[in-house]
Amino acid sequence: MSNANLYTVLSSGFPEDRKQIALETPDLLYTWEDVEQASACLANLLASLNLPEGSRVAVQVEKSPEALLLYLATLRAGLVYLPLNTAYREAEIAYFLKDAEPAVVVCSSKNLEWVSKVAEEAGTRHVFTLDEDRTGTLLSAAAQQPREFETVLREADDLAAILYTSGTTGRSKGAMLSHGNLASNAQVLHTYWGWRPDDVLLHMLPIFHVHGLFVASHGALLAGARMIWLPKLDVEQALRYLPRCTVMMGVPTYYVRLLAEERFNRDVCARMRLFISGSAPLLMETFNEFKARTGHTILERYGMSETVMLTSNPYYPAAGERLGGTVGKALPGVHVRVVDDRDEVLPVGEIGNVQVRGPNVFSGYWRMPEKTKEEFTTDGWFRTGDVGRFGGESGGAQVPADYLSIVGRSKDLIISGGYNVYPKEIELIIDEMPGVLESAVIGVAHPDFGEAVVAVVVPREGATIDTDAMQAELKTRIANFKVPKQLHVVDQLPRNTMGKVQKNVLRETYKTA
Ligand code: MCA
Ligand code: AMP
């Protein structure tokens, strides 16, 4: 029986000549041999802890090649990887650790004090540090370990990773992804996007979410292609490296920022074969401007933490045109349908709820069987919470019947710079602040982030609210991208006859704020 461990699948694509370069940073080169040996040392370290099957390894560290190696090592050791956004603050991390009960936590040394405290409260026995300059207790301990490791056997259904996504109730849920979910998606995208061993990927995305960790990294690893590994989006660095690259992935803000730089032009993109956008809607304006400036048509695709990638515009011209304003066709093996509120399939051209199924779709939310049940139909389709349409029209052109467009969301969600923000989570925190009667959080158009978080707050009778102090307080309690860019104080919130807050009215009122 072949090993369904995702690492085994990915490493089947590593080049025969392991002396070739796998990862390049502005200062260092890592060969494929380095990737194998360093991930083996780390896997040996994890194995030496004698953890029970299915143990979670929670990681909140700055992006570095070693952070990627730790992810690969966790797969190799057969443990479950749990990446955490570096912007999360203590209360947020405390929730995740309490919920996931990881056996191992790896954090930045600057956060060690408070992370150790919350890890202990969650019952975690092993806390290591890992910093972006290759220091920390994790690497010191791994350095003592052998450089060979036999990747642990895993079945396709075994859990590989848990990704936390927020929810409309304000309580985050851990999406459980198996080795099979991730491997099937990597293999489909490998073919669909025409990955080649001589590709060079410009990797500037964070590696604590699906986009940077799975879609981008898996693509290059499985192709045995080189990654230029930068800690974050940096337009100067992008201009420096793009002339050597063939593939880039980003959320729409990446493309907006590149276009804002005059030096970004056709010459810079001379070797590029593919620019991919996802995680949030790409504006038609950005799609068109990019084409005019560079001659390249951005390929937009659509996915979720719970499902990895679902649909994509075509890469090969024979498979169809790349159409702005659409997210393309269901990927091979993935099924997508648009239904009404009774789960009845709608005709092409009609707008409804997007539901999906396929080998990439997760098995459920960590320790939330009831929530999981709610999100699946009785016949096994996952309710994405996105609202879409097959066919119809986009940018004045007719869209083929098998192309999906995302036109809205039934879930109350804001996507800011590619990060999801659930209003309920922020409203619950604001409502508990002194002098606050109630609040409503909305998303408004933002030129850089696509959408920005805005809060509208009603004070209690006789109370006054200092919005600057409130914003400063929020910054200490929640990840910075969730903190409202603006806070407005009003006497009352607009409500409909049922007493429900009319967020559409607020969005209209504050759209130019
Ligand atoms: C940073 N800031 C933000 C955001 N990022 N505000 C709103 N939304 C954001 N996304 C604020 C900080 O709070 C700070 O404000 C100021 O901007 C500068 O912070 P800094 O960290 O320096 O910002 P940056 O480096 O310029 O980052 C912006 C960014 C980054 C490059 C757009 O957010 C990013 O890389 N986003 C990608 C997210 C991503 O990978 N999503 C994929 C999810 P202050 O100084 O006031 O505190 S996976 C997914 O969605 C699905 C599965 C899919 O389909 O892919
Ligand atoms: P996450 O929970 O971070 O996995 O975010 C998943 C959500 O991002 C989806 O349910 C969509 O609402 C949104 N999304 C991802 N890609 C796109 C896209 N290309 N266009 C519009 N929305 C997208």
Three-class HEC string of 166-199:
CCCCCCCEEEEEEHHHHHHHHHHHHHHCCCCCCC
Instruction: Kindly report the pTM of this predicted structure.
Output: 0.97
Q: What is the pLDDT of residue 513?
A: 57
Ligand 1 atom nearest residue 233's Cα? 31
Give me the mean pLDDT over the 191-220 stretch.
98
Question: Is the shortest distance between the CB of 187 and ligand 2 below 6 Å?
Answer: no
Q: What is the pLDDT of residue 63?
A: 98
Q: What is the pLDDT of residue 395?
A: 83
What is each CA distance from 1 to 20, 359, 489, in whole angstroms?
A: 30, 20, 63
Ligand 1 atom nearest residue 483's Cα? 13
Q: Residue 155's Cα: distance from chain center in Å?
A: 25
Q: Residue 413's Cα: distance from chain center in Å?
A: 15
Question: Is the shortest distance between the CB of 167 and ligand 2 below 6 Å?
Answer: no
Q: What is the pLDDT of residue 1?
A: 66
Question: Is the shortest distance between the CB of 211 and ligand 1 below 6 Å?
Answer: yes
Closest Cα to residue 201, out of 221, 183, 184?
221
Give, in degrees to the nearest 5, the angle at Cα 490 between 486 and 494.
Answer: 105
| Confidence band, pLDDT 50/70/90 cuts, at residue 498 | confident
Tell me, what DSSP letter sits at residue 111?
G
Distance CA 421, CA 167 (A): 9
Measured by CA distance, the residue closest to atom 39 of ligand 1 is: 418
**Burial group, residue 447, by CB count within 10 angstroms (0-12, 13-18, 19+):** exposed
> Relative to the alpha carbon of 281, which ligand is closest?
2
CATH topology of domain 413-509: GMP Synthetase; Chain A, domain 3 (3.30.300)
Q: What is the pLDDT of residue 166?
A: 82
Lowest mean pLDDT among 90-99, 165-174, 217-226: 165-174
Which residues have C-beta within 8 Å of that of residue 432, sequence separation ≥ 6?
none
Give me the mean pLDDT over the 185-195 stretch.
98
Over 80: is that where the pLDDT of 512 sits?
no
Distance CA 208, CA 221 (A): 17
Q: What is the pLDDT of residue 170?
A: 73
The token pair that represents 420 in the structure block: 């999801």
What percent of the chain stands above pLDDT 70?
Answer: 100
For tokens 């806070």, name the residue: 487
Question: Is the shortest distance between the CB of 158 and ligand 2 below 6 Å?
Answer: no
Q: What is the pLDDT of residue 396?
A: 86
106 neighbors 59 (Cβ within 8 angstroms):
yes
Distance CA 363, CA 382 (A): 10
**Per-residue pLDDT tens over the stretch 436-490:** 999 999 999 999 999 999 999 999 999 999 999 999 999 999 999 999 999 999 9
For tokens 């399939």, name the residue: 345
| Phi-psi label, residue 48: left if phi above 0, alpha if psi -120 to 50, beta otherwise | alpha
Ligand 1 atom nearest residue 204's Cα? 35
Question: Is the shortest distance between the CB of 253 and ligand 1 below 6 Å?
Answer: yes
Question: Is the shortest distance between the CB of 406 and ligand 2 below 6 Å?
Answer: yes
For tokens 């207790």, name the residue: 137
404 neighbors 389 (Cβ within 8 angstroms):
yes
Quick one: how many helices (H) and strands (E) in the chain? 15, 27
**Burial group, residue 143, by CB count within 10 angstroms (0-12, 13-18, 19+):** exposed
Tell me, what DSSP letter sits at residue 502?
-
Measured by CA distance, the residue closest to atom 34 of ligand 1 is: 417
What 3-state class would DSSP assign to 398?
Answer: strand
Ligand 2 atom nearest residue 306's Cα? 4
418 neighbors 252 (Cβ within 8 angstroms):
yes
75 neighbors 158 (Cβ within 8 angstroms):
no
Query: In which element (H, E) is residue 78 found?
Result: none
Over 70: is that where the pLDDT of 492 sits?
yes
Which ranges in 82-208 belong to alpha helices (H)? 90-100, 112-121, 137-143, 179-192
Which one of 3.10.20.30, 3.40.50.300, 3.30.1330.40, 3.40.50.12780 gives the CATH number of domain 179-409?
3.40.50.12780
Q: What is the pLDDT of residue 382?
A: 98
Question: Is the shortest distance between the CB of 305 and ligand 2 below 6 Å?
Answer: yes
348 neighbors 339 (Cβ within 8 angstroms):
no
| Confidence band, pLDDT 50/70/90 cuts, at residue 167 | confident
What 3-state class would DSSP assign to 262?
Answer: coil
Pairing of strands 335-339, 329-330: unpaired
Measured by CA distance, the residue closest to atom 22 of ligand 2 is: 280
Give me the mean pLDDT over the 202-215 stretch.
98
Distance CA 247, CA 146 (A): 35
Structural domain boundaries in the chain: 179-409, 413-509
Ligand 1 atom nearest residue 302's Cα? 54
Question: Is the shortest distance between the CB of 312 and ligand 1 below 6 Å?
Answer: no
What are the DSSP calls for 331-391, one per residue? PTT-EEEEE-TTSPBPPTT--EEEEEESTTS--EETT-HHHHHHHB-TTS-EEEEEEEEES
